[in-house]
Amino acid sequence: MNLEQLRGFATIARVGHFTRAAEALHLSQPSLSRQISTLEHDLGTTLVNRTRGNLTLTAAGRALLPLATRMLADAESIRVEMAELAGLRRGRVRLGAPPTLCVSLVAEVLETYRATYPGIELQISEAGSRMLLEQLTGGQLDLALIVTSEHAVTEPSLTHTEVLVEQLVVADSMQHPRLGQGPVELRDLAMVPQIAFSPSYDLRAATQSAYRTLGLSPNVVIDGGEMDAVLRFVQVGLGVAIVPATALVGRSQLHGRALRSSARKDTDLAQPNLERTIGLAHRRDTPPGAAAIAMRELLLQTAGQLAQRHPQISLRS
């Protein structure tokens, strides 16, 4: 018997559905299924009547539920009390991130962080990497996610750790695809209608330089959009866009097709860089507070989960 199993049981009892409960727990259905059957075997009783349509608890299950609920509540109390004693009851974290990361990694992290440390004030600064580094140096930020492959951290008062490497991919619509199966070559992509980002994006510079390296100029049909608008345009089939892999996480209506610079590996031409490295920067001198340390830990952990789930994202640590 362990807390995860009890949490699984309590969730099933609440939603009356294995599959839904698994979703609520961010777990696959078979994992939850086995969690429960392991628990049942361990306790020597069945807990849930699996009748199709509506699950019900057995007598043992009904007896277990209040105890399980209380234990989970106690576990939560422990977390809260310990966090208070560790100085995480109140405080502030100021996190900077480029727009491309705000829609995926940062959104997920903030959701969890808010739930875990509800007393901590959160401030987000969405800007380009150069701007973020300036804000960090000026003390307006505690932590900043930056594109280190574009903007090396040269400022001596700052330091950073690399968090993940993500491929650049071509976002294409599921309903109105512009591309076929398999990886796309940059040279073939140039002719396909493209949606380009606003020049303030690091990503735009990276994309342009990739094309320039191969002596190509893309067929841009819409220019200057922000992330959400661009992805929306792609979705309705106006064209495709080159985006980092994390920007497509959780967008089931878009497909991220792998990007290849050239089919011929024996060419002597310089190959454009089709991936980017994300780092987490902070000041070297000022020791980060407990709230910032917790944020950093959570960012690294969540990045690890992303990398595990998506082949186009990998860890760098």
Partner DNA sequence: CATGATGCATAGCTTACTGCTATGGAAATC
Partner DNA sequence: GATTTCCATAGCAGTAAGCTATGCATCATG
Q: Which residues are at the interface with a copy of itself (CB under 8 A)?
A: 1-3, 43-45, 59-60, 63-64, 67-68, 70-71, 74-75, 77-79, 81-83, 85-86, 88, 290, 294
Binding mask 8-47 for DNA (x = CB under 7 A): ---------xxx------xxxxxx-xxxxxx---------
Hey, how many other C-beta atoms are within 10 angstroms of the C-beta on 11? 21
Q: Taking CB within 5 to 8 Å according to partner kind, which of a copy of itself, DNA, none is near residue 290? A: a copy of itself
CA atoms of 230 and 232, how far apart (whole Å): 5
52 contacts DNA (rule: CB under 7 A): yes
92 forms part of the interface with DNA (CB under 7 A): no
| Residue 303 binds DNA, judged by CB under 7 A | no
Q: Which does 53 bind (CB under 5 to 8 A by kind): a copy of itself, DNA, none?
A: DNA
Q: How far is the CB of 291 from a copy of itself (least distance, A)?
A: 11
Residue 44 interacts, among a copy of itself, DNA, none and using kind-specific CB cut-offs from 5 to 8 Å, with a copy of itself
Least Cβ distance, residue 105 to a copy of itself (angstroms): 22
Nearer to a copy of itself, 188 or 297 (CB): 297
| Closest approach of DNA to the CB of residue 33, in Å | 3
Rounded to a whole number of angstroms, the minimum distance from the CB of residue 55 to DNA is 6
126 neighbors 103 (Cβ within 8 angstroms): no
Q: How far is the CB of 16 from DNA (least distance, A)?
A: 8
**203, two tokens:** 């990503």
* Residue 110: partners with Cβ closer than 8 Å, 6 or more residues away: 122, 124
Write the CB contacts of 141 (distance below 8 Å, at least 6 apart in sequence).
94, 95, 96, 125, 132, 135
DSSP state of 218: -
User: Contact at 8 Å (CB) between 17 and 55?
Assistant: yes
Closest approach, Cβ 58 to DNA, in A, equals 12
Nearer to a copy of itself, 74 or 223 (CB): 74
Three-state secondary structure call for residue 134: helix
Bridging pattern class, strands 56-57 and 120-126: unpaired
Which residue number, 2 or 123, has a Cβ lying nearer to DNA? 2
Element (H, E) at 300: helix 290-309
Which is nearer to DNA, 55 or 258 (by Cβ)?
Answer: 55
Q: Could you say which of DNA, a copy of itself, none residue 60 binds, taking C-beta under 5 to 8 angstroms by partner kind?
A: a copy of itself
Residue 81 binds: one of DNA, a copy of itself, none (C-beta under 5 to 8 A by kind): a copy of itself
116 near 92, Cβ under 8 Å? no
Q: How many CB atoms lie within 10 A of CB 167?
A: 18
Closer to DNA by CB, 48 or 144: give it: 48
**For residue 243, what is the enclosing H or E element?**
strand 241-244
Give the three-class secondary structure for 62. helix
Residue pair 240/193 in contact (Cβ under 8 Å)? The answer is yes
* Tokens standing for residue 150: 């574009």
Ramachandran angles phi, psi of 207, nearest 5°: -65, -50
Work out how close the CB of 74 gets to a copy of itself at its nearest, in angstroms, rounded to a whole number. 5
**Residues forming the site for DNA (CB under 7 A):** 2, 4-5, 17-19, 26-31, 33-38, 50, 52-53, 55, 304, 308
